[in-house]
Amino acid sequence: MSEEETVVYSCYCALSEDEIKEVGGELKEVDGVKDVLDGYDLCSASGQEDLIKEIKEKGIKRLLLLCSASKLPDLTFDRVLRETGVDPIIIPLKGKEDLVERVKEAISSTPSPKTTRKVVPAALVIGGGIAGIQASLDIADAGFKVYLVEREPSIGGHMAQLDKTFPTLDCSACILTPKMVDVPRNENIELITYAEVTKVEGEAGDFHVTVVKKPRYVDENKCTGCGVCAEVCPVYFKSEFNMELGVRKAAFVPFPQAVPLKYTLSRDACMRCGLCKIACEAGAIDYDQKETVYELNVGCIVVATGYDQFDARLKPEYGYGKYDNVITGLEFERMVSPSGPTGGKVLINGKPPTKVVFIQCVGSRDKNHNPYCSRVCCMYAAKQAHLIREKVHDAEITICYMDVRAFGKGYEEFYERVQRERVLYVRGNPSEIYKRGDMLVVRGEDTLTGEAYEREADLVVLATGITPRADSKAVAELLGLDLDENGFFREIDPQHAIDTPREGVFLAGCCQSPKDIPDTVAQASGAAAKAAIFLSRSKKAEEEVLA
Amino acid sequence: MSCSWINSWEGTSMLIGDYGEIKSFEDLKAEIIDQDLCAGCGTCAAFCEAIEMEGDRPKLVGDCALVRGALKCGTCYEICPKRTNGDATIIEKFLSKEKTDELFGNYVGIYALRSTNAEIAEKAQDGGAVSAIIHYLLSTGTVDCGVISQRDEEWRAFPLVVTAPDDVTKGSGTRYAISPNVEALGDAIRDGMLRVAFVGTPCQVKGVRNLQTKLLEKIEKIDIVNIGLFCTENFRYDSFIEYMRPRLEEKGLKITDVTKTEITKGKFFFRSPKGDVTLKISELEPIIPNNCRNCIDFAAELADISVGSVGSPDGWSTVITRNERSDEIIKRMIEEGLFEVQEEVNLKIIHTLCSKKRERLKAKETEGGE
């Protein structure tokens, strides 16, 4: 039972003037209600000004606010709280049937103590792809500490695997690596690579996060990245960064521009010859290295865990995994990259292809697989077709499409350019790919002419779609988040792609939904802004700002 | 093992680029070990944790890297001396090209030497040259250790790693049993002893050369002085002792009574205070191991220094240096009075034994086209 008397303030979005006249009397009768007031647009700037004035003038100690919104962002009336010390208790109203009951209930509930919430002025960014990198740099530049945790030995994510980006044909590594390099250089960012988040406890403003860093068997403080360990290592692995098209040694960096440029040993599967240790001049090899556990205390979390590619084996009619020359979008990127296994040459069985067919919407817009559109595939296939045209002048290049979605800035122009480069667009999803002699045959129907066709090809590129990461369910549970019907992290509402229903946890990049690089970077900066706003509530920030 | 760049499934995508054939211990087993061609040198076991010598045969005691997720290794297969040719690369890299003898190979100098160190000379098979050289290299700090072999009282042989010069005489004397010295060489290097004086039979010398050219070539601080022994054949202990014991018992001897074994003047001798037991060379025929039958290297042609009794008088060793550095070592030892020198080496008899060993392979070839 509250000692202070409560004022019920109704906004006209909840109850009209007439309704208030009706119910007002009843409400005033309720034990503990001092007064019933009303006003316009209480959540707006002027509305809050009025609230603040009234609270101060009338000495209101406790306020129940009736509003129509089913859910208001928690910080809506933050200004009122800060300027008056009174935190309005929101009662979302659907109708006035149970209004009196609900007011009684709200009054009789014990008010939560008016403590200033603790906000640790630090952020955790999970995932070191372009989204995580951008968010980290922005939050750090806003003056807050950032822990960037990345699962792989290097940051960079999928963008580091791309050759050129659409529509400008910028070299992906060239626009990414400057940002990558800025990360460890930034005083506010602590980069923890080859590590995963294993536990998240606490609440917004005061999260306690456990991060486990796997042993590289290389002392990062001593390793100079010289690579002599890899030179002397006799054991090869399929290179994961190169989509298993090329090889790496047991002592490796995933790619030459890795950040941090520190080697990692796949010690579980190596020969244990000991040569890397002998050859290392810096004495950086440490076979007894154990995993390191970090306990971090942060105010908010940005989730930027990225995406997986659709598993093309789920469409067996396209022969992926059966035929050597049916490859996926990312595999093509590695092949055409100068840092890839062929040095950028487009080669099939050692020779350039003569007839290339792209198939769009593999796994996307598909009743049997993912119903959504993967958003980037039309453009990346056009880009890849362009790259083939550049490298193999007289190859026949066909793109089998359903629709061409070239919606972004410069996209439509790029699509037209690619068509002018003699890339043929044939409408209709092929039904099957099979082998005839030395060549593959793509069978489909041209839905514009209505004619069935069999198209020969010696290279087929499947534009596989963006899907959620295989472990997104586990990560969602870890973070207390939901997944949407397609398995991506759920945003708070369709109009706000960054906030999640869990306060203090924000989303950036493809982990929320498929998107291209410009949109990812924009969303990442948006997430950084949200994080910075949240963290600006910390005592430290207030001291600095309000001093 | 999860990875962010590829999905968490195991892709069966194509591999681009020529990374060669993928070989493993299984191939080595099928082509060499199970064909009874294995020399028991220990080269395959030298650097791989999964392979260990059990007696004179390698055994897989752990999982090969390929089973644990690696794509390619094949090191054991690549370095096996019974498998490879590749002598030209080895000769090019390590040996002097100035003088070449058709039968005993590239050389700089040929000497008949006797150690002036009393203890070495007393225990020596012939001139004590190998012991003296390793003693010298250890005393001067030129190497961190010596990899030699030793025997037990029943004349089994084992590798031995010595760091103190005086311990060298633990390996004095010839023993006719396989000792997989190259495995011990691998252990010594992995323990941080990177400069090693190694002594072994020609197959072991070749194994070490394979390591030097295919596995260790990029690590310059690893330095191996490769000393090879003249060798007609060696024996596997079990078949040797089974064959010899009755012949010893005939003369009232046990194997533990034997103080010296040697092949000289065309015969095999067991020397003991109670008397000698002699066998004709032809009597050894049944127990010559298969891998020795297809070897044509008598004089350890790929070594830095080759040493044997053939070509020198009793109590002296023939020493062939095959590159400048080794010749320098011998010359310095002579200068410092560590060796006595005899001028004349009987090249004819060395030639004869080289030819005989080459003929053995020819005979084998004409026999059954093997």
pLDDT value, residue B11: 38
List A residues 29-68 in contact with B (Cβ-Cβ < 8 A): none
The 3-state DSSP class for residue B14 equals coil
What pLDDT shows up at residue B300?
96
* Least-confidence region, from A13-22, A88-97, A270-279, B145-154: A88-97
Average pLDDT, chain B: 91
Within a domain: B7: no
B229 and B274 belong to one structural domain:
no
Those residues whose C-beta lies under 8 Å from the C-beta of residue B263, and which sit 6 or more positions away, are B232, B269, B281
Domain presence at residue B91? no
Residue B86: per-residue pLDDT: 73
**B324 lies in a domain?**
yes
Is residue A328 pLDDT above 50, yes or no? yes
Across the interface, do A234 and B11 touch by the CB < 8 Å criterion?
A: no
pLDDT in tens, B266-323: 899 999 999 999 999 889 999 999 999 989 999 999 999 999 999 999 999 999 999 9
Band of residue A544 on the pLDDT scale cut at 50, 70, 90? low
Share of chain B above pLDDT 70, in %: 92
Residue A385 pLDDT: 97
Pair (B320, B181) in one structural domain: yes
The domain of B257 spans 237-287
pLDDT tier for residue A436 given thresholds of 50, 70 and 90: very high
Q: Are strands A355-362 and A164-165 parallel, antiparallel or unpaired?
A: unpaired
Residue B20 near chain A (CB below 8 Å): no
Q: Does B13 sit within 8 Å of A245, measured CB to CB?
A: yes
Whole-number pLDDT of residue B16: 60
In the listed set B253, B287, B321, which residue is the last one of a domain according to the structure? B287
Helix intervals (H) in B231-346: 237-250, 290-293, 324-335
Does pLDDT of B118 surpass 80? yes
Q: CA dist A302 to A333, A522, B192, Å?
A: 28, 14, 47
Q: Domain check: are B33 and B71 in the same one?
A: yes
In a domain, B18, yes or no: no
A30-76: per-residue pLDDT in tens? 888 888 888 888 888 888 898 899 889 988 888 888 888 766 666 67
Asked if residue B168 belongs to a domain, the reply is yes
CB-closest option in B6, B19, B190 to A274: B190
Question: By the CB < 8 Å criterion, does A339 face chain B?
Answer: no
Whether residue A296 is predicted with pLDDT greater than 50 in this model: the reply is yes
Tell me the CA distances in angstroms from B256 to A187, A287, B237, B241, one per residue in order: 75, 45, 14, 11
**Domain co-membership, B166 together with B196:** yes
- What is the structure's pLDDT at B6? 59
Res B8 pLDDT > 60:
no
The interface residues of chain B toward chain A in range 29-58, judged by CB-CB distance below 8 A, are 47-50
Asked if A347 reaches chain B (Cβ–Cβ under 8 Å), the answer is yes
> Domain for residue B1, yes or no?
no
Helix (H, G, I), strand (E, B) or coil at B183: helix
Q: What is the mean pLDDT of residues B165-191?
A: 96
In the prediction, which pLDDT does A204 show?
92
Who contacts B295 (Cβ-Cβ below 8 Å, separation ≥6)?
A: B39, B202, B203, B233, B357, B361
Of B6, B16, B190, the CB nearest to A246: B16
Q: What is the mean pLDDT of residues B91-108?
A: 95
Q: Are strands A247-249 and A236-238 parallel, antiparallel or unpaired?
A: antiparallel
Q: How confident is the model at residue B28 (pLDDT cuts 50, 70, 90)?
A: very high
Long-range CB contacts for residues A174-182, cutoff 8 Å, separation at least 24: A176/A130, A176/A133, A177/A257, A177/A259, A179/A130, A179/A133, A179/A134, A179/A137, A180/A133, A180/A155, A180/A156, A180/A257, A180/A259, A181/A259, A182/A137
List CB contacts (< 8 A) between A471 and chain B: 2, 8
pLDDT of residue B10: 38
pLDDT of residue B334: 97
pTM of the predicted structure, to 2 decimals: 0.85
Residues facing residue B227 across a β-bridge = B199, B305
HSE value, Cβ hemisphere, 13 Å, CA-based, for B76? 34
CA separation for the pair A102, A10 (Å, rounded): 13
On whether residue B86 sits in a domain, the answer given is no
Q: Does B8 touch chain A (CB under 8 A)?
A: yes
Is pLDDT of B368 > 60?
A: no
Q: How many CA atoms lie within 13 A of A372 on its CB side?
A: 16
SS3 percent helix, strand, coil of chain B, rounded to 5, is 35, 20, 45
Give pLDDT, residue B74.
93
Let me know whether B266 and B211 are in one domain.
Answer: no
- Closest Cβ–Cβ partner in A254, A347, A469 for B16: A347
Question: Do B153 and B272 sit in the same domain of this protein?
Answer: no
Partner B contacted by A282 (CB < 8 A): no
Q: Which two tokens stand for residue A55?
A: 């609270």
How confident is the model at residue B364, as a pLDDT? 59
Label the pairing between strands A6-11 and A33-39: parallel
> Do residues B255 and B317 both lie within one domain?
no
Closest CA to A510 of B99, B202, B4: B4
Question: Is the pLDDT reported for residue A4 higher than 70?
Answer: no
Q: Note whether B129 and B303 are within 8 A (CB).
A: no
Alpha-carbon distance A75 to A43, whole Å?
A: 11
B47: chain A residues, CB-CB within 8 Å: 271, 273-275
Residue B369: what pLDDT? 43
Q: What is the pLDDT of residues A73-121, one digit of tens each?
A: 666 787 888 888 888 888 877 666 778 888 888 877 766 554 567 899 9
- Residue B370 has what pLDDT? 40
**Separation of alpha carbons B343 and A259, rounded Å:** 66
A260: contact with B, CB 8 A cutoff: no
Q: Are residues B278 and B305 in the same domain?
A: no
Complex-level ipTM: 0.90
> Given this model, what pLDDT does residue B2 score?
46
Tell me which chain A residues have a C-beta less than 8 angstroms from the C-beta of B9: 311, 313
> B13: how many CB neighbours lie within 10 A of its CB?
21
| Residue from A243, A273, A277 to probe the interface with B (highest B Cβ count within 10 Å) | A273
Beta carbons of A162 and A172 less than 8 angstroms apart: yes
In sign, the C-alpha dihedral spanning B205, B209, B214, B219 is positive
Instruction: Based on the fold, state whether residues B31 and B71 are members of the same structural domain.
Output: yes
Long-range contacts of A197-201 (CB under 8 A, 24+ apart): A197/A124, A197/A126, A197/A149, A197/A478, A198/A478, A199/A478, A200/A301, A200/A478, A200/A479, A200/A480
Least confident of A195-204, A259-268, B352-361: B352-361
pLDDT surpasses 80 at A404: yes
CA A536 to centroid of chain Cα atoms? 23
pLDDT beyond 70 at B363? no
Residue B127, pLDDT above cutoff 60: yes
Nearest-Cα residue of chain B relative to residue A194 = B3
Sign of CA dihedral A419, A420, A423, A424: positive
Mean pLDDT of B202-230: 96
Q: Which backbone phi and psi does A79 adopt, to 5 degrees?
A: -65, -40
Is A274 near chain B, with CB under 8 Å? Answer: yes
The pLDDT confidence band at residue A539, using thresholds 50, 70 and 90, is: confident
Measure the CA–CA gap between A249 and A527, rounded to whole angstroms.
Answer: 38
What average pLDDT does this structure show over A238-260?
A: 94
Query: Does A255 contact B at CB distance below 8 Å?
Result: no
pLDDT for B128 equals 95
The CATH number assigned to the domain holding B37 equals 3.30.70.20
CB contact under 8 A, B6 and A311: no
pLDDT tier, B366 (very low <50, low <70, confident <90, very high otherwise)? low
User: Do B243 and B225 have their domain in common?
Assistant: no
Beta bridge partners of A79: none
> In the prediction, which pLDDT does A70 show?
67
Most A CBs within 10 A among B9, B13, B196, hence the mutation to make, goes to B13
Residue A259 vs residues A128, A132, A151: alpha-carbon distances, Å: 10, 14, 13
Residue A34: the pLDDT is 85
Q: So what's the pLDDT on residue A511?
A: 98
Question: Same domain, yes or no, for B128 and B220?
Answer: yes
Shared domain check, B270 and B351:
no
- Mean confidence (pLDDT) of chain A: 92
The answer to whether position B258 is within a domain reads yes
- H-helix or E-strand containing B105? strand B105-107
Question: Locate tokens 């681009």: which residue?
Answer: B16
Residue B22 structure tokens: 């993928």
CATH number at residue B257: 3.10.450.750
Q: Give how many domains chain B has, as a whole number.
A: 3
Mean pLDDT across B187-214: 97
Domains of chain A: 6-108 (3.40.50.2300), 118-214+291-307+468-547 (3.50.50.60), 215-290 (3.30.70), 311-466 (3.50.50.60)
pLDDT tens-digit series, residues A346-396:
988 888 999 999 999 999 999 999 999 999 999 999 999 999 999 999 999
A505/chain B closest Cα distance in angstroms: 22
Query: Which pLDDT score is estimated for A115?
Result: 57
In this prediction, residue A147 carries a pLDDT of: 98
* Nearest CB to B194; choose among A272, A278, A311: A278
